[in-house]
Amino acid sequence: MKKIIAGNWKMNLLKQDVDQYLEVLKTLTLNQDKEMILFIPSIYLDDVNHNLNNKDIVIGAQNFYPEDCGAYTGEISACMLASIGIKHVLIGHSERRKYFNESDMVVNKKVQKALANNLHPMICVGETLEEREGKLMEHVLECQVFEALKNISSDDVKNISIAYEPLWAIGTGKTATSEEAQEVCAYIRTLLNKLYGDISNEIPILYGGSVNLDNYQILLNQEDINGVLVGGASLNIDSFKLMVE
């Protein structure tokens, strides 16, 4: 399986920054064993996707609303994303769970809607520090994974990836050690195995949370870590470039 280097800009970068970033993106040549997905704000999706001209890089959306169309002022739908050629979408990021009350049920609805529109969902799961310290981590992850994948068939699950992002490591500069990250990603794989048997080995599991130039390689070297989801460190194209090339 190729290693996935995914970037998540969150709500950052202005048009002029994006234009400069795009110029560098166009010139990137990915290492053969890597693939790159960049989750960018919706407002830039169409422009970046059209002007990128680099088949090695895929552009993804950070969010959508799980209805096809209708009176949902301010929202965009999965079919709108599909209609402009977007193929990947982030679902259940902890910031969406925290600030926009995205429950496991909503996550599942979004996963189904994404798949129905031929989008590849990257589902984020992760525990808080209190949950980890209170020995609730496994239970929390099991609920998040099982709920997100409710009624998802073995065929469909091949289009999904899971990103393990412990909340205490996001944007804090505090990364899980490679051993900790490997251990939890291996646990997530056992959960997937319970649901889908051997297909679990084909589902990419990524680690995210303060990934940077200093730690990405050791994380990627772990057996059950098939990629990294990079927030803050993906904003600077010069350092992000070094991770993918």
Q: List Cα–Cα distances, 134 to 130, 131, 153, 188, in angstroms.
A: 6, 5, 33, 19
Among residues 66 and 232, whose Cβ is nearest to ligand PGA?
Answer: 232
Question: How near is the Cβ of 209 to ligand PGA at its closest, in Å?
Answer: 5
Query: In the chain, where does DSSP find H-type helix?
Result: 15-27, 42-51, 78-83, 94-99, 104-116, 129-133, 137-148, 154-157, 178-196, 216-220, 237-244
How far apart CA 218 and CA 230 sit, in angstroms, is: 14
Q: Is 39 in contact with 231 (CB distance < 8 Å)?
A: no
- Which residues in this chain contact ligand PGA in the complex, by CB under 6 A? 8, 165, 170-171, 208-211, 229-233
Question: How near is the Cβ of 219 to ligand PGA at its closest, in Å?
Answer: 11
DSSP state of 213: T
Among residues 119 and 243, whose Cβ is nearest to ligand PGA?
Answer: 243
Among residues 204 and 232, whose Cβ is nearest to ligand PGA?
Answer: 232
Among residues 57 and 80, whose Cβ is nearest to ligand PGA?
Answer: 57
Residue 8 pairs in a beta bridge with 39
Among residues 182 and 234, whose Cβ is nearest to ligand PGA?
Answer: 234
- Which residues are marked as active site? 93, 165
Question: How near is the Cβ of 72 to ligand PGA at its closest, in Å?
Answer: 25
Question: How near is the Cβ of 76 to ligand PGA at its closest, in Å?
Answer: 20
Q: Is 213 in contact with 235 (CB distance < 8 Å)?
A: no
Question: How near is the Cβ of 162 to ligand PGA at its closest, in Å?
Answer: 13
Q: Which helix (H) or strand (E) holds 160?
A: none
Question: Which residue reads 């099991």 in tokens?
Answer: 142
